[in-house]
Chains A and B, each alone.
Chain A
């Protein structure tokens, strides 16, 4: 019974080709938009998640405080109130697994005939632990390098590419601000950070070397910021409290006075970014779904017209033995067929569009099989849902009324 009906549905669709195509267009655009939007949303989400993973987990950043100089307030980190000694004290706190005091600056790097300006961070070996940063070759500098302020460096991938090309930099000597530094190793690739900075465009050197030999400081041992890692996510609130209390004590801040430092929970910030990305992806999907519903209403509209136009045909079929459910089935199949074929074309267009977007706009897009299956499921449901009313209307016609209809 179903096969002759399928072929009749196919014939009916072919009988008014332009109208069928226009009806399908609503479905095509709806499904295409959903597939494309979900692909973009998924891509953005994945990018955010991998950026977060590249930051390291359970992270705090402690910035030295702002200060007021003659009425003009300087930003965070303007006054170097944090010191290496602060970092050593924090490391003793329960729940803190690692801390990396950091003294960043910008410097010109030279190797052979190449030169490159980049961010140079003076820090301790813990920095690699805190950031979950692996070395792809060589070895990290050690605490003894920090104690004796040796001129050694670890290079990020971007720096390596710009200074060395394909050459292996480990063991070579580069010049930073005209002083020679021995390259101990190369950092693994991290990619973009959440704010779009290239995390690989960086050089790590011992913090003491940076303070004493490269940048110099106003105050001995002062650092701009520190990155601290808690042992677990559950410990983060108590670690934050402990660090704040310890630093207030060490900086002799009386009750009621403002902190001269800022503690930021980076992981919480990251989670916010992740959930923002998720909400965005959901919203894109939701907006695209609206066009799918509009497409469904288009199908219903055309099916209603079709039922009216074919009232006589329905009458003839009933006069020769079609039951109500045969007529219902016929129109329902037609609606489902229109929406499924529309869906198929929509999926092809959506996937094609996603590939185009990733190629032209360089956006990360991911088409998941789940979203395609979902599109087919939704399209069938829309066919049934919006086809039901017209089909039922057709099936409830009285044979004699349908036959007399002119």
Chain B
């Protein structure tokens, strides 16, 4: 690792426990990870390995029990809930497995939604939303509603929404989990393009080796510990095996 201050993500000794009736259940056992600008990282691991929990902590949707997390140089643990909202709004873009679009809003409004919370005016919102829709190839559907387009198209809209505020980091939690193979490939091609052409840092969780193959770096989790962290092409076959 070069200068750690320049890292988009710097995580040290990150622990996470869930409180249950039977006492605390540990999920993450002291992770150390850094992600530099422009990296494309895939996270793999069997169910229960803690990768979704890890992703939610990265996305500032959940907080760690112990450990340090610096996002773009800022200490996430020291942020108030309003400041966390600000981070989610301006520093992060999040893409979900289930798309999570607002069904009552048209595509333009869906993509422009984060800009409402950053205080942009209507004209600016519409312009930037339409730009983004054009970038993901859906410019002609801006007045359509989510239920009028296909799953792959919905995921493109979600990606456009995640990118509309020009975030430093794009997080994707099994973005192709609900899509067929061909559409998955299209979505992954889009991710690659965003990473290579626009230099956007991407961290992506997946079950499928094919999808992980689009990334440069692989992090393999097992029982809340990192068992492999390195280039995808150097990973042992069992680190790349499908987990579902």
Interface residues in chain A, defined as those with a beta carbon under 8 Å from any beta carbon in chain B: 1, 3-5, 11-12, 15, 312-313, 315-326, 398-400, 403
| Neighbouring B residues of A15 by C-beta, 8 Å | 104
Describe B's contact surface by its main secondary structure. helix
Max chain A C-beta neighbours (<10 A), residue from B82, B100, B119: B100
Chain B interface residue number, banded: 20 to 34
Closest to B82 in A: A323
Max chain A C-beta neighbours (<10 A), residue from B86, B117, B122: B117
Q: Is B94 an interface residue (CB 8 A)?
A: yes
Complex-state Cα separation, A313 to B103, whole angstroms: 9
B94 touching A319, Cβ below 8 Å: yes
| Neighbouring B residues of A5 by C-beta, 8 Å | 116
Closest to B117 in A: A321
Closest to A396 in B: B81
Complex-state Cα separation, A184 to B122, whole angstroms: 81
| Neighbouring B residues of A317 by C-beta, 8 Å | 113, 117
B61 touching A321, Cβ below 8 Å: no
| Neighbouring B residues of A398 by C-beta, 8 Å | 62
Complex-state Cα separation, A262 to B19, whole angstroms: 87
A320 touching B105, Cβ below 8 Å: no
B116 touching A318, Cβ below 8 Å: no
B105 touching A11, Cβ below 8 Å: yes
A320 touching B88, Cβ below 8 Å: yes
| Neighbouring A residues of B116 by C-beta, 8 Å | 1, 4-5
A321 touching B85, Cβ below 8 Å: yes
Complex-state Cα separation, A325 to B102, whole angstroms: 20
Describe A's contact surface by its main secondary structure. helix
Q: Is B161 an interface residue (CB 8 A)?
A: yes
Given known contacts A15-B104, A316-B102, A400-B56, A321 and B62 CB-to-CB distance under 8 angstroms = no
Min distance, Cβ A40 to any Cβ of chain B, angstroms: 43
| Neighbouring B residues of A400 by C-beta, 8 Å | 56, 61-62
A323 touching B104, Cβ below 8 Å: no
From 92 to 114 in chain B, residues with beta carbon under 8 angstroms from any chain A beta carbon are 94, 96, 100-102, 104-105, 113-114
Given known contacts A11-B104, A403-B61, A403-B100, A324 and B122 CB-to-CB distance under 8 angstroms = no
Q: Is B90 an interface residue (CB 8 A)?
A: yes
Min distance, Cβ B62 to any Cβ of chain A, angstroms: 4
Q: Which of A12, A322, A399 contacts B104 (CB 8 A)?
A: A12
Given contacts A320-B89, A320-B94, A323-B86, 18 further A-B contacts (CB under 8 A): A4-B116, A4-B125, A313-B102, A315-B100, A316-B101, A318-B61, A319-B94, A320-B88, A320-B117, A321-B85, A321-B89, A321-B90, A321-B114, A323-B82, A324-B81, A398-B62, A399-B61, A403-B61
In the complex, 10 of the A-B residue pairs with CB atoms within 8 angstroms, ordered by the A residue number, are A3-B122, A12-B104, A313-B102, A316-B100, A318-B85, A319-B61, A320-B161, A321-B86, A321-B117, A400-B61
Complex-state Cα separation, A317 to B94, whole angstroms: 11
B113 touching A320, Cβ below 8 Å: yes
| Neighbouring A residues of B114 by C-beta, 8 Å | 320-321
| Neighbouring B residues of A324 by C-beta, 8 Å | 81-82, 85
Q: Is B59 an interface residue (CB 8 A)?
A: yes
| Neighbouring A residues of B165 by C-beta, 8 Å | 321
